[in-house]
Amino acid sequence: STPLLRVEKLVKHFPVQKSLFSRDKAVVHAVDGLSFELRAGQTMALVGESGCGKSTAGRLVLRLLEPTSGKVWFEGQDLMTLKPAAMRERRRELQMIFQDPYSSLNPRMTVEQTLIEPLQLHGLARGRQKARAIELLDLVGLPAQYLQRYPHEFSGGQRQRIGIARALAVEPRLIVCDEPVSALDVSIQAQVVNLMQDLQKQLGLAYVFIAHDLAVVKHIASHVAVMYLGQMVEYADKKSLFDQPRHPYTQALLSAIPLPEPGLVRQRVLLQGDVPNPVSPPSGCRFHTRCPHAKARCAEEVPELLSDGGHSVACHFWREIAASAPPAEMHIP
Ligand code: SF4
Ligand code: MG
């Protein structure tokens, strides 16, 4: 069947001034050839350090940003060819939840106004708006009395619930969630992720879930794409990715997650240095300046993203690394 969302070779380059004192232009390679598919009811996690292009990718998918090149299909329809009016109509089905529940809600609008605004925009009859707003609060586990309150009267977790209710107002099919729990206390994060999972089951939603941390997506993801400097370096279903990470970068991200069982430790993979500047990404494998397994070939030849049994990885040496590395998790005797 047709996937709900198909993204092919998306590229976004931003021109920037080289320096304050120069007229020369440089180019930020924010997203450099991203492809994936997503089915209804599934969650695609996009994971990577800040600056890897995952938020830009999320905005490109919703056409909130125009790509430099590449395609996005929603239910088989090429979004890039849609005229503004048709895109506005489609946008109802494509919503976004933002990272910061403090700044994404208008402080001068009550919860009722916040929830009713998208309903008005998409033409729900006036007489039905309030009932829908109450229904939306109920969906995210908040009481109807909250309708007359303002954002500052709520905790971070409650505000994010209101942000979710607003995104759900017009019955979307796909929601891009840009680090929806990163700004919340760890104790609240699980509650919000659980709520999102319940809503997904109940409403058949698909999510693109952006996160900088693999721990956050462990429960909600059906598939995970790991991004590094604008490119996908690994893609697999959640189980394969967590059980048998193939890319050294994924192995490093995973090794940073503490394991819940006492006595079980992960071989910690430490990365050297910082993420390189996306204006001039390293030659060959972009990860070679930080990779603990890098060899001469890695600086010269770009590794292709190749699939083996539905699990894709862009690394010249992943087989050798898998054969030689200790298991990702070890019991301490
Ligand atoms: Fe490391 Fe080389 Fe593989 Fe890149 S291609 S991840 S530098 S081993
Ligand atoms: Mg971001």
Tell me what pLDDT residue 328 has.
53
CA of 178 to the centre of ligand 1 (A): 28
Contact 28, 17 (CB under 8 A): no
Dist. CA 138–CA 155, nearest whole Å: 17
Give Cα 90 to chain centroid, integer Å.
21
CA of 260 to the centre of ligand 1 (A): 29
128 token code pair: 């039905």
Q: Which atom of ligand 1 is nearest to the CA of 297?
A: 2
Dist. CA 216–CA 45, nearest whole Å: 10
For residues 306-322, give the mean pLDDT: 96
pLDDT at 311 over 60: yes
Is ipTM > 0.90 here?
A: yes
Give Cα 25 to chain centroid, integer Å.
29
Instruction: Among 289, 290, 291, 304, say which to mutate for ligand 1: greatest number of ligand atoms within 8 Å of CB.
Output: 291
Q: Which atom of ligand 1 is nearest to the CA of 298?
A: 2
333 token code pair: 């005797």
Dist. CA 208–CA 17, nearest whole Å: 32
CA of 216 to the centre of ligand 2 (A): 15
The 10s digit of each residue's pLDDT in 166-205 is 999 999 999 999 999 998 998 899 999 999 999 999 999 9
Q: b/e per residue, 156-193, with b = 16+ CB within 10 A?
A: bbbbbbbbbbbbbbbebbbbbbbbbbebbeeebbebbb
In this structure, the strands spanning 264-266 and 206-211 are unpaired
Residue 300 CB coordination number (10 Å) = 11
Range in 21-25, 195-199, 247-251 the model is least confident about: 21-25
User: The tokens 């505000």 sit on which residue?
Assistant: 159
The 10s digit of each residue's pLDDT in 262-297 is 666 667 777 888 889 888 899 999 999 999 999 999
DSSP 290: T
Instruction: Among 295, 301, 312, say which to mutate for ligand 1: greatest number of ligand atoms within 8 Å of CB.
Output: 295
Which residue ranges form the domains of the chain, and what is each CATH number? Answer: 5-93+172-331 (3.40.50.300)
The 10s digit of each residue's pLDDT in 199-230 is 999 999 999 999 998 999 999 999 999 999 99
* pTM, to two decimals: 0.92
Dist. CA 61–CA 74, nearest whole Å: 9
State the Cα angle at 257 between 256 and 261, rounded to 5°: 130
At 2, phi and psi to the nearest 5?
-70, 130
pLDDT at 332 over 60: no
For residues 11-39, give the mean pLDDT: 88
Tell me what pLDDT residue 74 has.
96
What is the residue-averaged pLDDT of the chain? 91
Tell me what pLDDT residue 265 has.
64
pLDDT at 313 over 80: yes
For residues 56-73, give the mean pLDDT: 95
Contact 214, 49 (CB under 8 A): no
Query: Which ligand approaches the C-alpha of residue 179 most closely?
Result: 2
Q: Which atom of ligand 1 is nearest to the CA of 316?
A: 5
Q: Which atom of ligand 1 is nearest to the CA of 291?
A: 1
User: The tokens 């370096």 sit on which residue?
Assistant: 233
Instruction: Among 286, 287, 295, say which to mutate for ligand 1: greatest number of ligand atoms within 8 Å of CB.
Output: 287
Tell me what pLDDT residue 333 has.
45
Dist. CA 56–CA 166, nearest whole Å: 22
Considering only CA atoms, which of 180, 192, 209, 254 is closest in space to residue 45? 209
CA of 177 to the centre of ligand 1 (A): 30
Query: Which ligand approaches the C-alpha of residue 54 most closely?
Result: 2
Q: Which residues line ligand 1 (CB under 6 A)?
A: 247-248, 285, 287-288, 291, 293-294, 298, 303, 315-317
